Amino acid sequence: MTTIDVVIPTVGRSCLGRLLASIERERVHERGRVIVVDDRPGKTALELPAWATRVVGRCAGPAAARNRGWSASDADWIAFLDDDTELTPAWLDQLESDIGDLPATVAASQGRIMVPRPTGRKPTDAERAVIGLETARYASADICYRRSVLELVGGFDERFPRAYREDSDIALRVLDAGFDIVQGRRATLHRLADDPARSALRRQAGNRDDVLMAALHGRGWRERCGAPRGRLRRHLLTSAAAAAVPVAVVAGRRTLAGVLGAVWLAGTAELAWARIAPGPRTRREVTGLLATSLALPPLAVGQYARGLLELPRRLHPRPDAVLLDRDGTLVVDVPHNGDPREVRPMPGAQEAVARLRRAGVPTAVVTNQSGIARGFTTADQVAAVNRRVEQLFGPLGPWFVCPHGDEDGCDCRKPEPGMLLTAARSLGADPARTAMIGDTGADMEAARRAGLRGVLVPTAVTLADEVANASEVASDLPAAVDRLLGAAAT
């Protein structure tokens, strides 16, 4: 029998309650898991119905949250829903019908998004942006992917930290892999939000992601995924004219300054009218659109320029430093090992560390050794084992060893963050740009508390809950290094 789980990323908006109520009404939770990815920073546990599974997100945007959700599922299909949607009657039956007879060449089924119009007036500029979801291609507000395809393409690209482009990116990668995405019959309701006119200014940050989309998918990416062309060229002309006016004045070119000022005013007026004309034209709406139309062109151009500056880093991201656990990550875990002769590298670990070294990424080792406190080994024996590890791997950077037991209450024993923060400081690395690779939940919890990026490499003794709760999981140390270095690896 085909299984379907639902994944809902959320930052805790009140609209989540309406979606969960519609899920309960449609009995979706009785035929599959409902996984809610709690992506709120530094909050208490999100209150959810007993039937919902809460997974902690990384607060790294919707792409990362969706990856976190589907990685916690083992269903055949993963239905992604936005937290500001609601299910319509018979949604689950229609979803099962939508995917029931699909050939293996079809990777996903997209639901129909319905946006109710305001009563008694035309939609505002902000509301028209939401209404655009009705015709958006590949929108993840309601889309159901085969799990096998998500695994094949590596899920959502977490280099897209904002909404709207991460769903287009994964769709294009799926299409490039030879699959199809089809439109289903089911419908999902997406209500209008009471956003002010200035919400258009926030949306300009998407220009940074457009730069990455063009780099990854070529100049024709908009046509392929049905994205509007946008007004960036007009914004560039308007902004350039405005910036050149004072230069012309200082140079004594008053006629030129007048022409440039006219170009700026004409561009601003055209933009403002294009936004005002379709709407309700209330005093509040007109005032807000006039004000934001002055700021919007230079902001859009600035965000695009920022995207160009960020592009090398986004195309080839890599951490400033990598912290490594010892037992189960670098070497085979021999409990409380005090004998250097028992040291055996994990498969592929030596080459993985060599790749970090060739890439110029500094490393350090952070390891719990409670056997010292418990009398199973001595500090000298642990040091001898560590020397043997470095004989096999080459220099690994500074070593940080916690000799304490659980009852000692130290701040260095993982999952406490102390040892990781000390290690990052010793390497001169920003914790936010430092990664921790380990094989236990304690490694990942220490990384989370220290603000590091954690990558779990499970072994036979890693608990299932530790895997489910990890923000990132790699099959082994070489795969973890692949994930961290990406295209920058040598």
**Are 42 and 185 contained in the same domain?**
yes
In a domain, 156, yes or no: yes
Q: Is 157 a catalytic residue?
A: no
Give the C-alpha separation, 116 to 111, whole Å: 16
Mean local confidence (pLDDT), 460-479: 89
Q: Which of 144, 179, 195 is the last residue of a domain?
A: 195
Q: Which long-range contacts (CB under 8 A, 24 or more apart) does 130-139 make?
A: 130/190, 130/192, 130/193, 131/192, 133/190, 135/226, 136/226, 137/110, 137/168, 137/171, 137/225, 137/226, 137/227, 138/110, 138/167, 138/168, 138/170, 138/171, 138/181, 138/225, 138/226, 139/110, 139/113, 139/167
293 and 334 part of one domain: no
Higher-confidence residue of 438 and 490: namely: 438
Rg of the chain over Cα atoms, rounded to whole angstroms, equals 26
| pTM exceeds 0.75 | no
Same domain? For 239 and 99 the reply is no
CB contact at 8 A, 190 and 82:
yes
Is residue 220 over pLDDT 60?
yes
Q: Are residues 471 and 363 in the same domain?
A: yes
Active-site choice (327, 439, 443, 476): 327
Kindly state the average pLDDT of the residues 34-53: 88
Q: Which two tokens stand for residue 150?
A: 């998500």
Looking at the fold, whether 138 and 81 belong to one and the same domain comes out as yes
Q: What is the mean pLDDT of the chain?
A: 92
The CB-based long-range contact list for 18-23 (8 Å cut-off, 24+ gap) reads 18/86, 18/191, 19/81, 19/83, 19/84, 19/85, 19/86, 19/87, 20/48, 20/49, 20/52, 22/86, 22/87, 22/88, 22/91, 23/87
**Low-confidence winner among 245-254, 285-294, 467-476 (lowest mean pLDDT):** 467-476
Q: 110 with 257, same domain?
A: no
478 in any annotated domain = yes
Q: Kindly state whether residue 207 falls inside one of the protein's structural domains.
A: no
Burial (Cβ within 10 Å: 0-12, 13-18, ≥19) of residue 168:
buried
> Is residue 204 in some structural domain?
no
Query: How far is the C-alpha of 234 from the C-alpha of 250, rounded, in Å?
Result: 25
Give the domain extent around 244. Answer: 232-314
| Domain end position, chosen among 149, 175, 195 | 195
Q: Is residue 13 part of a domain?
A: yes
Taking 70 as the threshold, does the pLDDT of residue 457 lie above it? yes
Please give the tally of structural domains in the chain.
Answer: 3
Give residue 489's pLDDT.
Answer: 36
Q: Do 414 and 446 contact (CB within 8 A), yes or no?
A: yes
Q: Which of 209, 325, 439, 476 is catalytic?
A: 325
Is residue 8 in some structural domain?
yes
What CATH number has the domain bearing residue 137?
3.90.550.10
The CATH number linked to 347 is 3.40.50.1000
Residue 440 DSSP symbol: S
Q: Does pLDDT of 490 surpass 50?
A: no
Quick one: 118 and 250 in the same domain? no
* Banded model confidence at residue 347, pLDDT cuts 50, 70, 90: very high
Tokens 């939401």 belong to 130
Would you state the pLDDT for residue 163?
A: 86
What's the pLDDT score for residue 370?
93
**pLDDT over 90 percentage in the chain:** 77
What is the arithmetic mean of pLDDT over 99-113? 96
84 assigned to active site: no
| Model pLDDT, residue 57 | 85
Answer yes or no: do 176 and 131 share one domain. Answer: yes
pLDDT tens digits, one per residue of 161-203: 888 899 999 999 999 999 999 999 999 999 887 777 778 999 9
Q: Does any domain span residue 224?
A: no
**Together in a domain, 21 and 132:** yes
344: phi then psi, degrees, rounded to nearest 5 = -135, 125
pLDDT of residue 43: 63
For residue 432, the 8-state DSSP code is G
Tell me the CA distances in angstroms from 154 to 66, 76, 468, one per residue in order: 12, 16, 17
Domain assignment of residue 404, yes or no? yes
Burial of 468 (0-12, 13-18, 19+ CB in 10 A): middle
Please indicate, yes or no, whether residues 356 and 327 belong to a single structural domain of this protein: yes
Same domain, 118 and 87: yes
Same domain for 463 and 399: yes
